[in-house]
Amino acid sequence: MKYFMEKACPFLSIIIPTYNRSAQLAVCLKTLTKSSYPADHFEVIIVDDGSEISQDLVVASFRNFLNITLIRQAHAGVAIGRNTGAAKAKGEFLVFTDDDCQPAPNWLQELAAHFLKYPDCIIGGRTINILPDNIYSTASQLLISFLFGYYNTNPAQARFLNGSNLAVPKDLFLKLGGFDKRFFLVGAEEREFCARWMKYGFQMIYVPEILVYHSHELTFCTFLRQHFKYGRGAFRFHKARAERGRQRIQVEPRSFYLGLLCYPFMQKYRLRAPLLSILLAISHVSNVIGFFWERFIQNNKAEKVNGIIK
pLDDT digits (tens, 9 = 90+) for 24-71: 999 999 999 999 999 999 999 999 999 998 899 999 999 999 999 999
* CA distances for 40 relative to 4, 6, 68, angstroms: 15, 11, 11
CA nearest to 103, candidates 127, 122, 69: 127
H helical segments located in 200-272: 220-243, 254-262
Whether residue 295 is contained in a domain is answered as no
Whether residue 38 is contained in a domain is answered as yes
Interior/surface letters 168-180, b for 16+ CB within 10 angstroms, e for the rest: bbbebbeeeebbb
Whether residue 175 is contained in a domain is answered as yes
Q: How many domains does the chain have?
A: 1
Distance CA 102, CA 113 (A): 20
Quick check: 186 pLDDT over 70?
Answer: no
Whether residue 229 is contained in a domain is answered as no
Whether residue 13 is contained in a domain is answered as yes
CB atoms inside a 10 Å sphere around CB 120: 11
Residues 6+ apart with CB under 8 A from 204: 121, 122, 124, 157, 158, 159, 161, 194, 197, 198
Tell me, what's the pLDDT at 8?
75
- DSSP string over 267-305: TT-GGGHHHHHHHHHHHHHHHHHHHHHHHHHHHHHHHHH
Whether residue 10 is contained in a domain is answered as yes
Distance CA 310, CA 299 (A): 16
How confident is residue 2, by pLDDT bands cut at 50, 70 and 90?
very low
H helical segments located in the chain: 2-8, 22-32, 56-60, 78-88, 107-117, 135-151, 170-175, 189-199, 220-243, 254-262, 273-309
Tell me, what's the pLDDT at 57?
95
Name the residue range of residue 194's domain. Answer: 2-217
CA nearest to 49, candidates 22, 74, 79, 27: 74
* CA distances for 176 relative to 83, 119, 121, angstroms: 12, 16, 13
Whether residue 291 is contained in a domain is answered as no
Tell me, what's the pLDDT at 67?
98
Distance CA 57, CA 90 (A): 24
DSSP state of 208: E
Tell me, what's the pLDDT at 306?
61
Domain of 180, CATH number, reads 3.90.550.10
Of the listed ranges 139-143, 211-215, 226-230, 237-241, the least confidently predicted one is: 237-241
Whether residue 283 is contained in a domain is answered as no
* CA distances for 147 relative to 153, 214, 257, 294, angstroms: 10, 17, 11, 22
Tell me, what's the pLDDT at 247?
61
Average pLDDT estimate for 158-186: 90
Distance CA 10, CA 13 (A): 10
Distance CA 157, CA 159 (A): 7
Q: How far apart are the first and last CA of the chain?
A: 69
Average pLDDT estimate for 119-139: 96
Tell me, what's the pLDDT at 181?
84
